[in-house]
């Protein structure tokens, strides 16, 4: 049978999808890209915030229409299912199989049952549409990670080092959906990275809900620095980066490993969410304004060329105009290289949803726009400083008209950060053969919004 996949949400969710693709491939199913050709459609959903839930529901309903054609079975999995299983069963009967996160260990048995016996499987777990306290969910097995089918192209692959989250930020539903943080064994992670290197992947992107928590549950301490060092010893891997590192977990040891290892990107993705001490406390964040500003100063003093990225929440309950201006001033002073902002999303079952003084939607939107306008100018000034630099670029594509190669520097995370457009001065055949999927040295000559324009160095 032919099976198609849709993966929604974060890169951590994408790895789960890649594992599922591997399961179908190992059972001799044919993988197709077009939903109209699929006899089975699998959707991996996100249920993190309201916009993600809406996207997931709309995608399920859209894919359900294909059941009038080729599609025989519609299977839906992921965070949305975990969070709203019972409600979804009632609301969308067109779905043949709903698979909760806690049922991933039995994934193939459930699929096999419905395909071969045409039965709709009801999970044996307790049904609930509400967020509840959860025990740690079962991790994907070592073999499943090895058998996953990487879908991110030829050059980079994500490497998940843990599941769940134990931080309990008051606005976030992840601990209730995914359970507390559970680390993978270091040797399994390293073996998977070696397998990826053997397959030709040049860049490894280490991910978890909070990468700095890696190892605390199984080794009694954070082992992210040690893990990164071990990954850097693998032949074939040229770039290593880690994402989602909470500020309180960024130790001197971690900064030193990044500073002293050429393979590890000098890139810190630090979600601070706010800078007001009042709001940080209400969010149950583990840092203060003083600690955050001190960390930024420390990183930049030890690694002057470090790239700093952060994410912010605007419009959190009780955020006053004064609180917001404090955040705005901080953004102006910190001059982050990359910044993403999100209007606060009131998520049912989370402590923040019960807080008084919820902020009006128009106010949240206006504050979001003000922050992003501020950051746009900062980003422009940061990029202008790079004009004249010679930088190493991983070439991954070519523009439609063939005038530019398209790539990234080590300062840019795929699908999140900016791109480098390199002027093509070669014949099309020669350029595609010799440059695509390889590293080249380029001189930065101009900028375009969040992207760089460059020329090849002979």
Q: What is the CATH number of the domain that holds 439?
A: 2.40.50.140
Domain match, 83 and 17 both: yes
253 occurs within a structural domain: yes
pLDDT of residue 127: 38
Domain match, 450 and 318 both: no
> Is residue 424 within 8 Å of residue 404, measured between CB atoms?
yes
Domain match, 64 and 79 both: yes
193 occurs within a structural domain: yes
pLDDT of residue 116: 84
pLDDT of residue 332: 97
Q: Helix or strand or coil: residue 161? A: coil
Pure H helices in 216-269:
216-219, 224-232, 252-260
Domain match, 177 and 291 both: yes
pLDDT of residue 126: 42
334 occurs within a structural domain: yes
CA distance 390 to 349: 50
Domain match, 112 and 10 both: yes
Phi-psi region of 208 (alpha: psi -120 to 50; beta: other; left: phi over 0): beta
Domain match, 186 and 275 both: yes
CATH value at residue 346: 3.80.30.20
Tokens of 441: 């040295």
233 occurs within a structural domain: yes
pLDDT of residue 133: 53
Domain match, 333 and 373 both: yes
131 occurs within a structural domain: no
106 occurs within a structural domain: yes
Q: Which residues of the chain are under the pLDDT cut of 50?
A: 124-131
For 18, the domain range is 2-117
232 occurs within a structural domain: yes
122 occurs within a structural domain: no
Largest interatomic CA distance in the chain: 65
Domain match, 215 and 263 both: yes
pLDDT of residue 118: 61
Q: Which of 191, 224, 227 is nearest to 210 (CA)?
A: 224
CA distance 260 to 240: 13
Residue 2: C-alpha distances to residues 30, 40, 162, 372 (Å): 5, 6, 31, 43
Domain match, 61 and 146 both: no
Which stretches of 315-418 are assigned E, i.e. beta strand? 338-343, 390-398, 404-408
Domain match, 358 and 284 both: yes
Measured from the Cβ of residue 190, the count of other Cβ atoms closer than 10 Å reads 16
Sign of the alpha-carbon torsion through 31, 33, 36, 41: positive
pLDDT digits (tens, 9 = 90+) for 396-453: 999 988 899 999 999 999 999 999 999 988 755 555 567 889 999 999 999 988 899 9
Domain match, 166 and 294 both: yes
> Is residue 28 within 8 Å of residue 112, measured between CB atoms?
no
pLDDT digits (tens, 9 = 90+) for 207-235: 999 999 999 999 999 999 999 999 999 99
| The total number of structural domains that make up the chain | 3
Q: Helix or strand or coil: residue 95? A: coil
pLDDT of residue 124: 46
pLDDT of residue 128: 41
CATH value at residue 26: 3.40.50.12160
Q: Which residues contact 308 (CB under 8 A, 6 or more apart)?
A: 268, 270, 296, 299, 300, 334, 336, 337, 338
pLDDT of residue 141: 84
The pTM is what? Answer: 0.93
pLDDT of residue 320: 98
Domain match, 112 and 192 both: no
């Amino acid at each position: 049978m032919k099976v198609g996949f849709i993966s929604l949400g974060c890169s951590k969710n994408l790895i789960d999808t890649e594992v599922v693709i591997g399961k179908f491939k190992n059972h001799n199913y044919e993988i197709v890209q077009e939903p109209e050709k699929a006899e089975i459609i699998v959707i991996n959903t996100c249920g993190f915030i309201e916009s993600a839930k809406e996207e997931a529901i709309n995608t399920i309903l859209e894919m359900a229409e294909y059941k009038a054609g080729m599609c025989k079975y519609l299977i839906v999995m992921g965070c949305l299912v975990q969070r709203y299983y019972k409600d979804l069963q009632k609301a969308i009967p067109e779905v043949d199989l709903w698979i909760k996160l806690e049922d991933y260990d039995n994934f193939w048995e459930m699929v096999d049952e419905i395909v071969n016996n045409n039965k709709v499987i009801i999970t044996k777990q307790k049904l609930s549409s509400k967020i509840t306290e959860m025990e740690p969910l079962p991790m994907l097995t070592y073999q499943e990670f090895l058998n996953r089918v990487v879908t991110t192209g030829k050059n980079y692959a994500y490497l998940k080092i843990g599941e769940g989250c134990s931080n309990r930020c008051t606005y976030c539903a992840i601990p209730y959906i995914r359970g507390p943080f559970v680390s993978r064994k270091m040797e399994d992670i390293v073996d998977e990275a070696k397998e990826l290197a053997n397959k030709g992947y040049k860049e490894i992107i280490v991910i978890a809900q909070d990468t700095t928590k890696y190892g605390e549950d199984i080794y009694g301490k954070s082992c992210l620095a040690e893990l990164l060092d071990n990954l850097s010893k693998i032949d074939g891997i040229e770039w290593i980066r880690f994402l989602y590192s909470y500020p309180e977990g960024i130790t001197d040891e971690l900064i030193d490993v990044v500073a002293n290892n050429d393979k590890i990107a000098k890139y810190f993705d630090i979600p601070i969410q706010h800078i007001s001490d009042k709001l940080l406390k209400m969010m149950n964040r583990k840092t203060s304004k003083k600690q955050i500003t001190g960390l930024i100063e420390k990183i930049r003093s030890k690694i002057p060329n470090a790239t700093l990225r952060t994410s912010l929440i605007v419009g959190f309950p009780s955020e006053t105009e004064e609180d917001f201006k404090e955040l705005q001033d901080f953004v102006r002073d910190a001059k982050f290289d990359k910044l993403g902002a999100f209007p606060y999303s009131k998520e049912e079952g989370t402590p923040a949803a019960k807080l008084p003084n919820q902020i009006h939607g128009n106010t949240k939107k206006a504050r979001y726009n003000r922050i992003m306008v501020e950051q746009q100018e900062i980003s422009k000034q940061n990029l202008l400083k790079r004009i004249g630099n010679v930088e190493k670029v991983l070439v991954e594509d070519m523009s439609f008209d063939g005038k530019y190669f398209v790539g990234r520097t080590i300062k840019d995370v795929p699908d999140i950060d900016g791109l480098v457009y390199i002027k093509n001065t070669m014949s099309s055949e020669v350029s595609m053969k010799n440059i695509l999927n390889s590293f080249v040295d380029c001189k930065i000559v101009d900028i375009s919004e969040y992207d760089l324009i460059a020329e090849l160095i002979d």
